Amino acid sequence: MLIRAWSALCRALPGAFVIVLLVAGGARAASPGAARTLLARTVADARSQQSFHELISQVESGARVGFVADIGASAGRQEITTSSGVRAVVIVASGRAYLSGNYTALAHYFGFPAAVAAAIGSRWVSFSHADSGYGSVAVDVTAPSAIAELVPVGALRLHTGVRVAGRRLTAIDGAMPGAPKGVSSTQTLYVTGGSDPLPVRVSTQLRRGGHIVAHGTILISAWGERVAPAPPQRPVAVTGLAALAHRLAEMTIPKAPGYLAFLGPGERPPVIGRPWGRACQAVRFVLSGSLPAAISARIVKLVAAARAQGLAVSTAPTPGAVRVAITAASAARRGAPGQVIASSPSTRKLPGGRNVALTGLSATLFTGPLASHPGRLALAIRRLIALSQGIGSSTLAGSGLSAHGASGFTTADVTALLYTSGCSAVAPGGLAA
């Protein structure tokens, strides 16, 4: 974990962070032999516990990276954040490593090619031990490697009677394992007293030319608690990412970067500007009486808001409009946890075989999760409206079609939807948000 953290920091992530370094004031020094003896006992005791919790904060030149991890003997879960906007989660379970993150994490932290990072989107990626990326993703998420990163190396010094945050601890000073070249390092491991010493804190410094250029802390707790993260459902194998990136290229909409068309049979996209076969086709959303009144009222407002932004959609009778039916799921169809909508587009192949046109569109709402999560309904309806205008999804983090994006259609969203539905012209250079 430390190795990957410092590697990330050395790429000069922007931001600012203040961290308090631990000071071993008033401590008594002991012999190097005593330091190595205590360190060996500490490592043995840590390995016997097999699991623990870590909170890591590190900073270099104002850039910061943080980890929150539950680490087990052969399984673990780790959350990663940085001041540049990286957000990622790594899970090791059932002999595999799983990774999920935003575009910044995938492309700029883990090093996926841009097209592949965009293709991954919000999906989980799985790695087997045989995959070349397994080691870099799973590093320090399980106890063997995580414990090794806590251990100072080189010439050791022992300080007893160190008081830290009101606790009397023993400090073992040494160098940082795996420190970058061209810098000197200090790593101090703080352990509990008694016959079974365990790590509780680590303080690390990197210096260049006598100046501190990076520093960090690790807080360690919850020794011996059970760690058993569940593998994510339906991950994409890392070996299948090339095919996924190719599929993304097929979905990419010319002159609308960041927006993807839906694909019909044979991986064929609709014609830009005529997803229904006609430019600027009017669309009417017809709500089933099976929908709860509160949800129907909310859908009417959402569609009306999209219409006010210039989209050719409505819930009122409209001459020549195609119908999009929205119904509630039956009691026997509960849907997956968190699922709020299932859409069913029907298409026909156009002459030439390169494109399709929508011939029908319907949606089923799983209303159970919506009572306490109105934002989920809004996102589901925005995505359904987008589908009716020829867009299947967006890779833009701030888009109203993204799970953690805007709470409504952005100007860029509306511009793209007007373009794909044929309701506006486009300049030769592309869309202007």
Place of tokens 């200090």: 186
Give the fold, CATH level 3, of 252-421: Collagenase (Catalytic Domain) (3.40.390)
Q: Quick one: pLDDT at residue 12?
A: 30
Q: Quick one: pLDDT at residue 341?
A: 75
Q: Quick one: pLDDT at residue 268?
A: 84
Q: Quick one: pLDDT at residue 104?
A: 87
Q: Quick one: pLDDT at residue 376?
A: 86
Ramachandran angles phi, psi of 305, nearest 5°: -65, -40
Q: Quick one: pLDDT at residue 9?
A: 42
Tell me how far apart the alpha carbons of residues 58 and 11 are, in angstroms, rounded to a whole number. 13
Q: Which residues contact 427 (CB under 8 A, 6 or more apart)?
A: none
Beta pairing, strands 341-349 & 167-175: unpaired
Relative orientation angle of helices 374-388 and 411-421, to the nearest 10 degrees = 30
Q: Quick one: pLDDT at residue 255?
A: 83
Give the fold, CATH level 3, of 2-221: outer membrane lipoprotein receptor (LolB), chain A (2.50.20)
Q: Quick one: pLDDT at residue 42?
A: 95
* pLDDT digits 0-9 by tens, 71-109: 999 999 999 999 888 999 999 999 999 999 988 899 889
Low-confidence residues of the chain, pLDDT below 50?
1-26, 335-337, 426-433
Question: In Å, how far from its chain's centre is CA 34?
Answer: 44
Give, in order, the Cα–Cα distances in Å from 394 to each of 45, 59, 70, 121, 399: 49, 33, 32, 9, 7
Q: Quick one: pLDDT at residue 352?
A: 84
Q: Quick one: pLDDT at residue 60?
A: 79
Nearest partner of 387 among 287, 260, 268, judged by Cα: 260
- What does the block give as tokens for 326? 């929205």
* Per-domain boundaries in the chain: 2-221, 252-421
Q: How many residues does the chain have?
A: 433
Q: Which residues contact 194 (CB under 8 A, 6 or more apart)?
A: none
Give, in order, the Cα–Cα distances in Å from 200 to each of 68, 139, 194, 412: 15, 20, 14, 49
Q: Quick one: pLDDT at residue 170?
A: 94
Longest dimension (CA), the chain: 90
